[in-house]
Amino acid sequence: MQKLIYIVEDEPDIAELIAIKLQSAGFDTRIFDLGTSMLRALSDQICDLLVLDLMLPDMDGFQICKNIREKPDFASIPIIMLTARTAPQDKVQGLELGADDYLGKPFDGKELVARVNAVLRRCHTKPEKIYRVHPALTIDLMAHEANIDGKRLDLTLTEFRILKLFITNPGRVWSRSEILDYLWGTDKIVIERSVDVHIKNLRDKIGDYAPHIQNVRGVGYCFVENP
């Protein structure tokens, strides 16, 4: 299966050149000229790697990187910054914010492909992160799936993300507005009561584990390890 690479670059000629080089190396690509449109796309389909320019019309590339690293769903996406900003302080800042590699413009196509392959190899060797709720409910953050007694649960993306939010933050009380912000940020207008519908459906699907998700009256929801 082809690896999917998102390219965030507002110069059409450069974006097309990057895409051609990566496609010739066997990758699938998708081009975005705005950071905001790429972030929205991640909510529908997570890419295998992101090639990110820094100087964009709507958002600074550093802020995009920071935003991705702060989101549990996206934090593990490999990022290569490809930019004309080649000053040492820019490179240091990019790497400190979580970029996996930093390449200056103008760039060599073969070097870009080599760096993409190297970053993907490094990330592929990272151990899978699996959370377990005793005795048999697990979520696999790398595979984006939840299981009970080894049987995969038929969860929607929203239900999985809510379950992941709860399991990875046991004991933390989440308000409905915080859950909505985690799910969609400011990009989608929905009512807070929709959270109740998603959580009801999630409880139905996890069956005997439903009591782990508790309602905190007047506040929101909390996941407890020992209900």
| 43 and 134 assigned to the same domain | no
Per residue in 138-167, is it b (16+ CB within 10 Å) or e — as a string?
A: bbebeeeebbbeeeebebeebbbbbbbbbb
* Both tokens assigned to 155: 């969860």
| 193 and 106 assigned to the same domain | no
| 185 and 211 assigned to the same domain | yes
The predicted pLDDT at position 124 comes to 64
| 166 and 192 assigned to the same domain | yes
Q: In the beta sheet, which residues pair with residue 140?
A: 130, 145
Phi/psi-derived region of residue 155, left when phi > 0, alpha when psi is between -120 and 50, beta in every other case: beta
The predicted pLDDT at position 194 comes to 84
Indicate the residue among 106, 124, 142 that finishes a domain: 124
| 107 and 23 assigned to the same domain | yes
The predicted pLDDT at position 186 comes to 52
| 105 and 168 assigned to the same domain | no
The domain total for the chain is 2
Q: In the beta sheet, which residues pair with residue 213?
A: 223
> Tens digit of pLDDT for each residue in 62-119?
999 988 988 878 888 999 999 999 888 898 888 888 888 999 999 999 999 999 999 9
| 120 and 145 assigned to the same domain | no
Average of pLDDT values for 199-208? 95
The predicted pLDDT at position 183 comes to 78
Nearest C-alpha neighbor of 79 from the set 46, 110, 44? 46
**Range(s) of the domain holding residue 12:** 4-124
| 203 and 153 assigned to the same domain | yes
Average of pLDDT values for 7-36? 97
H/E stretch holding 158: helix 157-167
Confidence class for position 220, pLDDT limits 50, 70, 90: very high
| 105 and 24 assigned to the same domain | yes
| 152 and 69 assigned to the same domain | no
| 19 and 94 assigned to the same domain | yes
Name the residue with higher pLDDT: 156 or 25.
25
The predicted pLDDT at position 113 comes to 96
CATH number, domain with residue 66: 3.40.50.2300
Confidence class for position 5, pLDDT limits 50, 70, 90: very high
Indicate the residue among 108, 124, 140 that finishes a domain: 124
Confidence class for position 180, pLDDT limits 50, 70, 90: confident
CATH number, domain with residue 189: 1.10.10.10
User: To the nearest whole percent, how much of the chain has pLDDT over 70?
Assistant: 95
3-state secondary structure at position 176: helix
**Main-chain phi, psi angles of 19, to 5 degrees:** -60, -45
Helix axes 193-206, 157-167, angle to 10 degrees: 80
CB-side exposure of 75: number of CA atoms within 13 Å?
7
Indicate the residue among 124, 143, 162 that finishes a domain: 124
Sign of the torsion angle spanned by Cα atoms 185, 190, 196, 198:
negative
| 207 and 152 assigned to the same domain | yes
What is the average pLDDT value for the chain, to the nearest integer?
Answer: 89
3-state secondary structure at position 167: helix
Strands of the sheet containing 173-175, edge to edge, are 173-175, 220-223, 213-216
> Tens digit of pLDDT for each residue in 143-170?
778 999 989 999 888 899 899 999 988 8
